[in-house]
Amino acid sequence: MRGLTEEQQLFQATVRRLSQERVAPRAADIDREDKFPWDLVALFRDSGLLGLGMPEACGGGGADMLTTALAIEEVARVSGTASLLIAVQHLGALPIMLAGTAEQQRRFLTPVARGEQLAAFALTEPEAGSDAGAARTRAVADGDGWRLTGTKIFITHGSVAKTLVVFAATEADGQSRGMSAFVVPSDAPGFHVGHVEEKLGIHGSETAQLQFDGVRVARDQLLGRVGEGFKIAMRTLDRSRLGIAAQALGLAQGAFDAAQSHLAQRRQFGRALTEFQGLQWMLADMATRIEASRQLLYTACDVVEAAGFGIDSSPEVTRMSAMAKLMASDTAMQVTTDAVQLFGGYGYIRDYPVERMMRDAKITQIYEGTNQVQRIVIYRNLPPVASS
């Protein structure tokens, strides 16, 4: 079993305490009011969590993938929305970390790593969801730079981010060169925030439509080489899916904790509910799924971390990342649903946290690659059958 070092255990305990004392009291209000939690942005910035997994040279914490996942997991135990502040900041920074030059990292990554700016990852489009390569946003050569035109949808933190990594089909001299990645500041002329979605869960997290109307980007805003955007996006997702797995794991653990406590206190037929074997079995199954997901996630973090940074990858990295996201998010949906059931009628009302956790858990099966897509990814990256 994958354990934690003493340093990681101390870090985990610190984030857990911060989450219980400062985030948990805000969780229900954030969900009810559906307003972006700028106070938690400040809290996480001051605590060094926003740039936790980013280079120290740029003002980040320099933490490994597992340590970053631990932070997301602990925050998600009390608030799925709050955990996205860390996960999405890391997601928006990853393309710059993977493909940016030293100068680009200094320029674009430093304010993100310091928590001075929020970041977002703009890939999804109306006709390019699971089929990310079908993007219709265009980057047309314009002198020594490019002009971006198109629409992105479902962009988490898209309306509040100051630094966006935007993926667009590149055209140079009328010839298509595939997809490329660009760093775009939110104050660029021609950039507009469109509709902000109203969602089933993760209330308070801004999910926005973005419009690019001839947005001018300079040559030094291109990440990597022309045509490498799809590879950059896929390698980013190899890492960022671990953050979603950690979010899902935290939601599952939080729901399990709440259900176990409720059953110990609630009495029916003259006995505590924990004394009923059928309910004991439900808790046993929930705990088993959570621990299996945790071990898979922590191992996947080790595999991805060992591979190092860069836009090249391996089947093992892609497979393990997809497995962790698939397992943890399916577990989160099952465990949170069971938690609502274990609360009975109380589970269906907003005075208790498990209905919020169930609503929040659903999106983990969908974003950063639906679980149907994860199964395709896993199959395509299985080791070859050994010859007899």
Residue positions annotated with a catalytic role: 368
Q: Give the dihedral sign, CA 355/356/359/360.
A: negative
Residue 143: phi, psi to the nearest 5?
Answer: 65, -125
The helix, strand and coil proportions of the chain, stated in percent and rounded to the nearest 5, come to 55, 20, 25
Mode of pairing for the β-strands spanning 145-156 and 267-268? unpaired
Q: What is the dihedral of CA 339, 341, 345, 350, to 10 degrees?
A: 40
Reading the block at residue 37, the tokens are 């939690």
Residues pairing with 193 in the sheet: 210
Reading the block at residue 90, the tokens are 């890391």
Residue of 202, 239, 222, 230 lying closest to 91 (CA atoms): 239
Widest CA span of the chain, in angstroms? 80
Contacts 24+ apart (CB under 8 A), 172-176: 172/141, 172/226, 173/141
- Spatial separation of the C-alpha atoms in residues 164 and 208, rounded to whole Å: 12
